Structure 1
């Protein structure tokens, strides 16, 4: 467990370092347009302009970026799984089971959500101050008794170990790079036409602000061409750097995903005191699983599948366009073998 904790902390540190690089890059690329803000901050704070810019703008932007990643990724993951939060009145047995397990583990009970999917699976997502455990309707219909408790305990251990929060954070940049997430489209209300209007207004504002650094008469052909060149280079360079920053996040997520599954299996088996129940659940769910389609190399890591108890996600067939590298999860046979070791220890 100490080894997992170290890996989680190392992964979190590297993820935050990537976030710092992303925010710093965006701030650098937007500096020509944000120079009025930078000058105002430098004039207001009794420190150097560079230090003032980082203290007053970049650092708060980094905190907001991390917070927004967690909140947005949680919302999008639940939406992709067709999951909704459920009350005790709707699922009394589920709430009772989770509450009992949380009392045994001495942890705060997370929010519970049910995905309206027939495929049996589960996962956990976390933010800075809360967590959500998601189970599918198919899981509740397939498992019961000790096996259902074992799967729920597994997800609770992800929450307790904090790896659910780290993996939630790790899912944002890969999904954004792949085009799976569109934060601006989600934030801008209305139809496609209204979004285009907002984009046009933003472009016009950038055009006006570029008068501070373009050495040409405002509104002239040379000024417009210069603006388009600078704007285009900024967008292209930003996209390239985003892809560069995403690569290590994918590697970190894959590496941690395998370790965290073994650790959650072990902790869940010890919590319930019944490793054979988790073995039975793995065997039942793995036997009923839809064969995973051949991996699409353009999708190096899919958020929902990477978080799930078993890596086939919630799809009933191979119609889903998003595929996961099987390396993000350890083989079921390996998990069962390690649970046998836990049984021997107990």
Structure 2
């Protein structure tokens, strides 16, 4: 089974496509060539491939860190676009026709919907007063970073958590996607807790596709200062080669309005890989139709054995690219005696 980058839910993990140009210079065009994603034939094939690639790329301190939040914020392009005519109200972050991007503020002309410090607020545009509010922190504490998308009387809030730096594999509630009903008093319809960190999202019509990044859940041997780095790498490679497929397969927890929760794992058959990959990261695309809500199919996730930090979407495609210049140096844990 092969998926190409021009299909609606395909991913293109292309580092070169995001190379920056000097100020004032024309952006450099980069050909993607034939970007093809190949699905694994089964769990045995997936495990063998991921173990081999991850063992080749693991370092003396594990798989390293992820991109700082400040770098990601600077990386997001200015999405202002000339729509050819002044609308009655601003359509924020609509660079591609018919494709909306997350923001802190959204409006339908009659109301402003905002999310700050984990609280969703609805403001009447006529009276300029807050008419409704809903606390979504759920124990996260204040200043939890969040993004927002709305369609009709539905809002989807993407709560990142994690503080000033993204964490590649955080606590169970490090990332949450909360679907809220805005008709009348706001109420939570469902909460999706994906394994990993929120990268970005795009909405076409009422359908949102969210990209989450995770790293393998592998426990590496404790670091001892007297052990040479070559020996540390060898021990980490042994840990990688013993890890089960579940260490890589992303998990999802979905809680409905009644509080009933279900937990699932992305199936091996729904994981693909490009020709070249490291095995140290997994990208998962979750799909939620705001008009229908989270159905029995959950978020219909597909995953790709690749890395990425920039999301771009059109009406028919979703692209994820990575820029290695934005990624930090590998984390060095403190030695233990």
TM over 0.5: no
Higher helix share: 1
The structure with the largest alpha-carbon Rg is: 1
Provide the TM-score with structure 2 as the length reference.
0.28
